[in-house]
Structure 1
Amino acid sequence: MAHIIVVGNEKGGAGKSTVSMHVATALARMGHRTGMLDLDLRQKTVARFIANRLTTIKRHDLALPTPVYHDLPEVDQASLGPGENAYDRRLSQAVAAMERDCDFIVIDCPGSHTRLSQVAHTLADTLITPLNDSFVDFDLLAHIDGETGKILSPSVYSEMVWNARQLRAQAGLKPIDWVVVRNRLGAQAMHNKEKMGHALDDLSRRIGFRTAPGFNERVIFRELFPRGLTLLDLRDVGVVGQMNISNVAARQELRDLIKALNLPGVTADF
Structure 2
Amino acid sequence: MAHIIVVGNEKGGSGKSTTSMHIATALARMGYRVGALDLDVRQRSFGRYLENRIAFIAREGVALPTPTLAELPRDVEDMDPLSAAVGALDPDHDFIVIDCPGSHTKLSQMAHTLADTLVTPMNDSFIDFDLLARMSPEGEVLGPSIYAEMVWSARQLRGQAGAGPIDWVVLRNRLGTTEMHNKRRVGEALTRLSRRIGFRVAAGFAERVIYRELFPRGLTLLDLRDIGTQQLSMSNIAARQELRDLLTELRLPGVKVQL
Task: Write the mapping of 1:77-226 to structure 2, written as runs, cut at 5 A.
Answer: 79-80=77-78, 89-147=80-138, 149-188=139-178, 190-226=180-216
> 2:75, 2:27 → 1: CA distance?
30
C-alpha separation in 2, matches of 1:64 and 1:208 = 37
Q: Give the aligned CA root-mean-square deviation in angstroms.
A: 1.0
Q: Distance in 1 between matches of 2:128 and 2:95?
A: 28
**What SS is found at the alignment partner of 1:225?**
helix
Letter in 2 for 1:252: Q
Aligned residues: 259
Q: Deviations over 1:62-108 (max 9, x none)?
A: 110000000000015xx34xxxxxxx610000000001100000000
Q: Which residue of structure 1 lines up, in the alignment, with residue 54 of structure 2?
A: 54
The AA in structure 2 aligned to 1:98 is L
Tell me the residue number matched to 1:252: 241
- Aligned partners of 1:75 and 1:89 also within 8 Å: no
2:2 aligns with 2
1:99-131: CA deviation from partner (whole Å, max 9, x where unpaired): 110000000000000000000000000000001
Q: CA deviation at 1:61?
A: 0.8
Unaligned runs of 5+ in 2: none
2:11 equivalent in structure 1: 11
SS of equivalent to 1:6: strand
Q: CA deviation at 1:46?
A: 1.1
Distance (Å, rounded) in 2 between the aligned partners of 1:265 and 1:187? 34
TM-score norm. by structure 2 comes to 0.98
Q: Deviations over 1:23-49 (max 9, x none)?
A: 000000000000000000000111111
Q: Is the 8 A contact 1:3 1:105 kept in 2?
A: yes
Comparing 105-114 with 45-54, greater Cα deviation is found at 45-54
SS where residue 31 of structure 1 aligns?
Answer: coil
Preserved contact between residue 46 and residue 108 of structure 1 (Cα < 8 Å): yes
Per-residue CA deviations over 1:196-247 (Å, capped at 9, x if unaligned) read 111001100000000011000111011010000000000110101x210110
TM-score (norm 1): 0.94
Structure 1, unaligned stretches of length 5 or more?
A: 81-87
| Preserved CA contact (<8 Å) 1:2 1:102 | yes
- Write the distance in 2 (CA, Å) between the matches of 1:133 and 1:23: 20
Q: Give 1:189 shift.
A: 6.9
Deviation at 1:188, TM superposition (A): 4.6
Structure 1 residue 265: Cα displacement: 1.1
Distance, in Å, in 2 between the alignment partners of 1:203 and 1:176 is 17
Partner of 2:256: 267
Letter of the structure 2 residue corresponding to residue 108 of structure 1: D
Indicate the SS of the match to 2:226: helix
Deviations 1:166-203 (A, max 9, x none): 00000011100000000011225711111111100110
